Each structure stands twice: as structure tokens, then as C-alpha cells.
């Protein structure tokens, strides 16, 4: 945590601590994360995910990935990846991009001691460049996660995407299907497939449930 905070020690505004106190409520600003990494990485992963929907490509097809972002993005997640544990990997954009390209996901299963030191991921991470875009920084803190992403492919094609807000964020909240998919991926670690389905259906029809104790029963492994 200290290493992360040190990147922002000259970029704070004490007035923000009390701005809107008693007037602005943050409940509707609650976000869902669809990647098991720091939020700064999410817009880039969404951009690549969207590109792959247009055209399928994998690690062997990539010459380089260039991410243009705010100074916060560069400082926070844009450093050269060196394996230093799970948290370090979660805080590093090149690792997360490489992992997405290799596994097609960047979730719980992608952060293991073996994977964060995987030579293939480390080599692919070197193809990810994170560069400062002054125009994005000038937009202010609310746009600190905005990115312009370029995927330079080995056949000469260059794909581009701009993403201002990540899936699941206040500005781009998740669909019901995306929320259910995340729940199922996580719940399957602790419950049987049948129990996962029953609990999902119970929550989605909660207003019809006669006894809330049923939820507790369904959550028992």
C-alpha cells in the first residue's frame, strides 16, 4: 500500500475529503469489478475484450499493445512488470493484459503464485506499453481511468478503442446477465453446481420468498 500511495503523494486535494458532505450520497456510485485486479486496469481490459469481439486474436497475433492514459494510470499501473507476488500482479497493467490475452480472462484463477511468475506472461507483458496522454489527464480525476488502446497485430492491422468507464462502474453499470455470470464464477468455488443455481434463482425471486432463512440454508456448502 505504501508503494501505491507514494505514487500519488503530490496529487491530492484535501478539500475533496469533505466535498458534498451531507449532500452527496455514494450508494448509487457502488461499482462491480469484473476483473480481479485494480480498477485502473479495467478500461484497458474492456477495450481489448471489445476488440476481440470484432476480430479474434491471441498472444501470437500481437506485435504490441499501446495504452494511452492519464498520469495516474501511468504511475499506478504502467510500470515494467517484475514478479513480486499476487498483489504486485494485480496492480500491473502489462501483466493483466498479457494474462487476458493468454487465458481469455483476468479473474481469481489468473492470480496464482505459478502464473504471476509465468515466463510466457512476462514475455508478453513486455509488448504492452503504457504512455501518458496529457489530454486525458487534463480532463481531471473523474476521467482518470479513460484510455485509448491500440492493438498492433502481426499482420499489420491496428485496432483502436477508447473507453472512458469500465463495465460495472457507476457510468456503465453491469447488465443482469453479467452480474449473474460473476456470481456463478465465484459461488462455484464453494458450492455445488446445483446449489449455485438454486441460490441464484432464490435471490432473483427474493420478493416471492416466504422465509429468508432459506437463503442461509442455500449458502451452506
Q: Where are the domains of the chain?
A: 32-163, 176-218
Q: What pLDDT, on the 0 to 100 scale, is given for residue 9? A: 57
Whether the predicted pLDDT of 6 surpasses 60: no
Mean residue pLDDT of the chain comes to 92
Q: What pLDDT, on the 0 to 100 scale, is given for residue 25? A: 82
Whether the predicted pLDDT of 4 surpasses 60: no
Residue 37 contacts residue 106 (beta carbons within 8 Å): yes
Whether the predicted pLDDT of 2 surpasses 80: no
Confidence of residue 33 (pLDDT cuts 50, 70, 90): very high
Q: What pLDDT, on the 0 to 100 scale, is given for residue 7? A: 53
Residue 72 contacts residue 11 (beta carbons within 8 Å): yes
Lowest-confidence pick of 26-30, 33-37, 125-129, 172-176: 26-30
Q: What pLDDT, on the 0 to 100 scale, is given for residue 113? A: 94
Domain 32-163 of CATH type 3.30.43.10: no
Whether the predicted pLDDT of 122 surpasses 70: yes
Residue 3 contacts residue 74 (beta carbons within 8 Å): no
Amino acid at each position: 500500500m505504501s508503494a501505491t500511495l507514494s505514487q500519488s503523494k503530490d496529487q491530492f486535494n484535501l478539500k475533496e475529503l469533505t466535498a458534498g458532505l451531507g449532500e452527496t450520497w455514494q450508494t448509487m456510485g457502488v461499482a462491480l469489478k469484473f476483473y480481479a485486479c485494480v480498477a485502473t486496469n479495467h478500461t484497458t481490459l474492456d477495450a481489448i475484450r471489445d476488440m476481440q469481439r470484432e476480430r479474434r486474436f491471441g498472444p501470437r497475433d500481437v506485435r504490441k499493445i499501446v495504452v494511452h492514459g492519464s498520469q495516474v494510470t501511468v504511475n499506478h499501473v504502467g510500470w515494467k512488470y517484475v514478479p513480486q507476488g499476487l498483489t504486485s500482479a494485480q496492480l500491473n497493467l502489462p501483466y493483466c493484459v498479457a494474462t487476458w490475452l493468454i487465458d481469455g480472462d483476468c479473474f481469481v484463477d489468473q492470480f496464482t503464485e505459478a502464473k504471476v511468475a509465468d515466463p510466457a506472461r512476462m514475455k508478453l507483458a513486455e509488448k504492452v506499453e503504457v504512455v501518458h496522454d496529457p489530454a486525458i489527464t487534463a480532463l481531471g480525476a473523474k476521467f482518470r481511468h479513460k484510455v485509448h488502446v491500440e492493438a498492433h497485430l502481426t499482420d499489420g492491422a491496428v485496432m483502436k478503442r477508447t473507453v472512458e468507464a469500465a463495465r460495472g462502474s457507476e457510468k456503465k453499470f453491469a447488465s443482469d446477465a453479467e452480474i449473474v455470470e460473476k456470481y456463478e464464477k465465484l459461488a462455484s468455488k464453494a458450492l455445488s453446481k446445483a446449489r449455485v443455481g438454486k441460490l441464484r434463482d432464490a435471490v432473483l425471486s427474493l420478493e416471492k420468498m416466504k422465509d429468508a432463512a432459506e437463503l442461509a440454508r442455500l449458502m451452506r456448502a
